[in-house]
Homo-oligomer: A and B are copies of this chain.
Amino acid sequence: MSDFGLFDAVLAAGPVRDIVSDAGWLRAMLETEAALAQAGAEVGLFDAASAQAIVDAAVVENFDLAAIGAGAAGIGNPTGPLVRALTRQAEDAGKFVHYGATSQDIVDTAAMLLSREAFAALDDELTEVAESLANLAQEHRDTVVAGRSLGQHALPTSFGYVVAGWLEAIVEVQKALRETEFPAELGGAVGTLASVGSSGPALRSAFARILGLADPRIPWHTNRLPIAAVATAAGSVSGVASSIAGTLISLSQTEIGEVYEEGPAGSGGSSTMPHKRNPIAAVSSFAATTTVPALVGTLLTSMAHQHQRAVGQWHAEWRTLSELLRSTGSAVHWLAESLRRLHVDTGKMAENLAIVGGVLQAEQVTSALVPVLGRLGAHDAVTACCRKSIATGESLAEILAADPLLSQHLTTGQINQLLDPVGYLGSAQFFTDEVLANYRKARQ
């Protein structure tokens, strides 16, 4: 792995960083040129020995990335200087370098290679995330916690249910990543492959097959759906990570304390506050996710390619795509790390559950009364008791039992049973089991 930049360990962690680095792009562009040479020989445009010479020449070590980068200013993309350098490097075979292609063919195909590799890396890390979540969901299938809406305790649920919801989302995005298609791009200057005469379709099929990419019906120089597919799939991955990481951060707050990260020495501490236990992995994951949606938006805006080559929208894709994949990769990497570091404090969960007391199960009392008082009647009567309990600190059970109207319909025993959170998990465990069963079936 290459050296970390100043912010990379925080915002560009994990394997995707190197995949989409400038060196990664150069490697992918060379792989593309090599495959084009092989394909050209295969369809008879030139001899196999020349193709092999190009393949041999097209290795990263032979090229000066900075010089190629500097040379890109001339025609506005790095393919030009790369082709010139490769032509020199391939010596006699040089005249067959880049045969039939245009700059965009090379950059677009390289972008697909990088995206495929980045998606594979994302998928691997998500597999680890999923396994962590499956274990957590199983272990805490019956751990009662306060369900929270708008930051307020609402009804009890189980921690396993909460985690199962995350697991289901991870399974869904992995499916999306795996279904993404990566088409080769080859069309020449305006998409007609005119310079290779009638060999165009055969050349492109061979090229795509060699690279293991899909072979499209027509060049996609200005149909940017392949880029949009990568961007939106990554955006969905990032969105799922933002929800999980954000909730972990929230559960780690000093006052809530239901989970905490315990990383290697020096992690999550503060230079001046030795007592702090920052959920730094979750924070780093969340930070990366906040930068992704706008990058997806930029790539969707850039779909407005005109004619046979865009006037800037194409160029705008390169760094934006790299940054999008990098950030998504970092978000997923740090999420996996956060889950590795995660400790669950079931004692704190129980303690927090008790804060609101029976009031949290008030809905169950309301539901029990609906048949006799109607929804609104039951709601209003129970609400009044809850407000009294909150205001006075008196237990809700006692207030309900003392209520002249409600005590006609519920015994003290019934009230206590209705206010027991463990008995009010509804289908939480059922849903958890369904998600786990589906996950395990898919894993087989």
- The 10 A-B pairs with the shortest beta carbon distances in the complex, nearest first, are A147-B190, A239-B303, A194-B426, A149-B309, A274-B383, A200-B427, A4-B69, A192-B426, A294-B294, A232-B232
Contact status A300-B238, CB under 8 Å: yes
Cβ of A48 within 8 Å of any chain B Cβ, yes or no, is: no
Contact status B7-A69, CB under 8 Å: yes
Taken together as a complex, chains A and B put the C-alpha atoms of A193 and B425 apart, in Å, by 8
Selected contact of A272 from candidates B13, B192, B366, CB within 8 Å = B366
| A169-B298 contact given A77-B10, A149-B308, A249-B311, CB 8 Å threshold | no
Min distance, Cβ A307 to any Cβ of chain B, angstroms: 4
Cβ of A127 within 8 Å of any chain B Cβ, yes or no, is: no
**Contacts of A329 on B, CB cut-off 8 Å?**
none
Contact status B383-A315, CB under 8 Å: no
Cβ of A115 within 8 Å of any chain B Cβ, yes or no, is: no
Contact status A154-B225, CB under 8 Å: no
Min distance, Cβ A314 to any Cβ of chain B, angstroms: 8
* Number of copies of this protein chain within its complex: 4
Contact status A284-B11, CB under 8 Å: no
Cβ of A409 within 8 Å of any chain B Cβ, yes or no, is: no
Interface of A is mostly: helix
Taken together as a complex, chains A and B put the C-alpha atoms of A305 and B241 apart, in Å, by 10
Selected contact of A190 from candidates B149, B280, B288, CB within 8 Å = B149
Residues of A1-45 whose CB lies within 8 A of B: 3-11, 13, 22, 25-26
Cβ of A95 within 8 Å of any chain B Cβ, yes or no, is: yes
Min distance, Cβ A113 to any Cβ of chain B, angstroms: 15
Contact pattern, A 198-238, Cβ under 8 Å of B = 1, otherwise 0:
10110000000000000011111111110011001001101
Cβ of A122 within 8 Å of any chain B Cβ, yes or no, is: no
**Contacts of A314 on B, CB cut-off 8 Å?**
287
Contact status B155-A364, CB under 8 Å: no
Contact status B194-A425, CB under 8 Å: yes
Contact status A161-B192, CB under 8 Å: yes
Cβ of A312 within 8 Å of any chain B Cβ, yes or no, is: yes
Cβ of A379 within 8 Å of any chain B Cβ, yes or no, is: yes
Contact pattern, A 315-327, Cβ under 8 Å of B = 1, otherwise 0:
1101110010000
Contact status A173-B427, CB under 8 Å: no
Q: Of A128-136, A339-347, A351-359, which binds chain B?
A: A351-359
A-B contact pairs, 5 of them (CB 8 A): A6-B78, A147-B190, A150-B278, A165-B218, A246-B306
**Contacts of A274 on B, CB cut-off 8 Å?**
362, 366, 379, 382-384, 386-387
Selected contact of A223 from candidates B5, B168, B254, B277, CB within 8 Å = B168
Name which of A156, A285, A291, A431 has the most chain B CB atoms within 10 A of its CB: A291
